Structure 1
Amino acid sequence: MQPWALVTPASRGIGLELARRLLQTTNLPVVATARKDLDQATGNILSGLEVKEDRLKMVKLDFLDEDTISSAASQISQAFPKKTSYLHLALCLPGILHPEKSPTQINYDDALMTFRTNTLGPMMLIKHFSPFLPRKSTALGENLDGLPSSAVWTTMSARVGSITDNSLGGWYSYRCSKAAVNQLIKTFDNHLRTAAGEKAMGIALHPGTVKTGLSREFWGNVKEEKLFEPQFAAEKLMEVICSRGLGDRGKCWDWKGEEIPP
């Protein structure tokens, strides 16, 4: 069986660097997605890399539009038939942030967009892409250097999604959307326990504060040693993914490999 990887979205930031890292450090075909400008996204991922360009397949996917998610899945099923291939690593990374400091700053449309992007988008991705994951009967691929031994589905969470760790308040819509992501990955992992057994699991990830557009207005409030470049974040997240065992499934892990409580 031919394993492959999914990075979505991969047009910039952490997703871009994760796609580049997978192409450099593994032998897997990589499916990457962008909402628009697919040629530009392809060029950005491949820029400066000495890899076979046909290992990268770029498809259009918009987390706010289920039709594009379904269409992307249909395209990929033709490129990677389920009888001969399976999804070994899924990196689901969408995110937006509206940092409300008080309840009076909550805007309905902004909050709805936060949930559509951060929570419902990953949920719809699971709906359409989970069938690509291995089943109990699937023979997992060999030569998985630089990859976890079992298939792993990851979804981007955040430390502020932890109810236990919430001592400051604020950021209402973002906190709630990420708390929901943690519930989503736990629920999905319960499904995988039945459908895939030890062949696949789900985890959530917290990358720390990374120099991306999402966190730009907060860079000045973060100590330099705790503000990460996207390349560093991608490296640390892959280390965490590859070091998780089956006892770690269904949980949220930070970039240091430490569990974030729900």
Structure 2
Amino acid sequence: MQPWALVSPASRGIGLELARRLLQTSKVPVVATARKDLDQTKENVLSGLSRVDEGRLHVVKLDVLEEDVVADAAKQVSSLFPEKESYLCLSLCIPGLLFPEKSPAQIDYDKALLTFRTNTLGPMLLMKHFSPFLPKKAVNVEEAEGLPKSAVWAMMSARVGSITDNQMGGWYSYRSSKAAVTQLAKSFDNYLKPSSGGNAMSIALHPGTVKTNLSKDFWGNVKEEKLFSPEFAAEKLMEVVNSRTLNDRGKCWDWKGEEIPP
């Protein structure tokens, strides 16, 4: 059976670099998603990758704020990779949005709602429509170069989503939405245990502070050695994903491979 990977979204930042890295370090087809400008996204992902087979990259329209668009994307992918002939070996679900509230008075209902729709419900809808592509117990999962031994469904959480680690407060909607992602990863992994056994697991990830538009307003508050490029973040996250074992399932892991408590 043909393994394939999903990066959603992959139009910029960490997602773009994860898609590029998968094309360079593995041999599987990669489905990259974007809300718009699909041709531009494909060009950006492939830019400078002279030794990569362009046919391995499939760019699909997907907006996590619209369930019908997510469902249509899943249908499109099912025609590319029929379930009886292939399986999803790696899913990187990384939509993210941040409106930083320093005090409760700064909470804006519409912005908070958009944060949860993007950061929490986005991965949830991806899970609903794309998790059927994960291998079931009966599937003979092949070990593929540059990819984890078991299929991994990875969602982007954050250290600030840890209730245990919260010493500062603030960022109410973002913290809460990311705490929910960590819970989602655990709940989904509990679902996968009986359906996929050791063939698939779910985890959450924390990339550190990365030089993307999401964190742009806070670059000045971060020490230079702790402010990562998207390329570095993608490299470290793939190292973490590829080194997970079944004992690591259902947990949140930072870019160093250290567990972040919920």
When the two structures are superposed, what TM-score results if normalisation uses the length of structure 2?
A: 0.99
Counterpart check, 1:38 vs 2:38? yes
Q: Which AA in structure 2 matches 1:123?
A: M
1:6-45 paired onto structure 2 within 5 Å? 6-45=6-45
Counterpart check, 1:130 vs 2:131? yes
Task: Determine the structure 1 residue equivalent to 2:89.
Answer: 88
1:205-224 paired onto structure 2 within 5 Å? 205-224=205-224
Task: Determine the structure 2 residue equivalent to 1:233.
Answer: 233
Structure 2 distance, partners of 1:140, 1:205, is 23
Identity, % of aligned positions? 73
Task: Determine the structure 2 residue equivalent to 1:47.
Answer: 47
Q: Which AA in structure 2 matches 1:254?
A: D
Task: Determine the structure 2 residue equivalent to 1:62.
Answer: 63
CA deviation vs aligned residue, 1:84-128 (integer Å, no higher than 9, x gap): 000000000100000000000000000000000000010011000
| Superposed CA RMSD | 0.5
1:244-255 paired onto structure 2 within 5 Å? 244-255=244-255
SS of residue in 2 equivalent to 1:74: helix
CA deviation vs aligned residue, 1:37-64 (integer Å, no higher than 9, x gap): 0000000000110211110000000010
Deviation at 1:141?
2.3
Task: Determine the structure 1 residue equivalent to 2:167.
Answer: 167
Q: Which AA in structure 2 matches 1:216?
A: K
CA deviation vs aligned residue, 1:204-247 (integer Å, no higher than 9, x gap): 00000000000000000000000000000000000000111100
Structure 1 distance, partners of 2:228, 2:179, is 23
Q: Report runs of 4+ in structure 1 exceeding 6 Å deviation.
A: none
Structure 2 residues not aligned, in runs of 5+: none
Structure 1 distance, partners of 2:122, 2:211, is 23
CA deviation vs aligned residue, 1:116-168 (integer Å, no higher than 9, x gap): 000001001100000000000011124x1111000000000000000000000
Structure 1 residues not aligned, in runs of 5+: none
Q: Which AA in structure 1 matches 2:124?
A: M
Q: How many residues align?
A: 261
